[in-house]
């Protein structure tokens, strides 16, 4: 994947989804006025699957600098150590993912300005 496309996807994951933690449990589809709506919240496990796959892609492609790699390692340890897949998403989870998204975006944008 080209760097510019990768950065676009990271920005979409960071900015295209809400950091809000709703009071009710979200399902894949909710209905508003009788129409199906796909809620765009970072608390949803589907968001995490896509975002974690992007982080993995960045690591394989060499897009992570030392700081980003450290944040990625810490995020993986945090998620594994807190049984993430069997619990609800927390503010700490979202904050850690946002920090990593921003770190990678900033590094790649700075690199592209110097190339």
d(Cα 81, Cα 103) in Å, to the nearest integer? Answer: 23
**pLDDT tens for residues 60-71?**
999 999 999 999
- Section 17-29 average pLDDT: 80
Residue with tokens 């993995």: 56
Q: What is the pLDDT of residue 28?
A: 65
**Cα distances (Å, whole numbers) of residue 79 to 5, 31, 84, 97:** 27, 30, 5, 10
Mean pLDDT of the region 32-44: 79
State which residues form the domain around 68. 3-114
Nearest to 93 by CA among 51, 40, 34: 51
113 pLDDT exceeds 80? no
What is the predicted pLDDT for the residue at 82? 95
What pLDDT does residue 30 have? 67
Mean pLDDT of the chain: 90
Number of structural domains (the chain) is 1
């Amino acid at each position: 994947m080209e760097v510019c496309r990768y950065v676009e996807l990271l920005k979409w994951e960071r900015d295209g989804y809400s950091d809000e933690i709703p009071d009710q449990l979200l399902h894949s589809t909710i209905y508003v006025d009788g129409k199906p709506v796909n809620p765009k919240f970072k608390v949803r496990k589907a968001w995490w699957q896509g975002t974690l796959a992007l982080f993995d892609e960045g690591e394989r492609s060499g897009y992570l600098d030392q700081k980003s790699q450290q944040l990625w390692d810490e995020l993986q340890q945090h998620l594994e150590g807190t049984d993430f897949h069997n619990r609800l998403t927390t503010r700490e989870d979202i904050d850690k993912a946002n920090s990593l998204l921003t770190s990678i975006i900033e590094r790649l944008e700075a690199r592209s300005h110097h190339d």
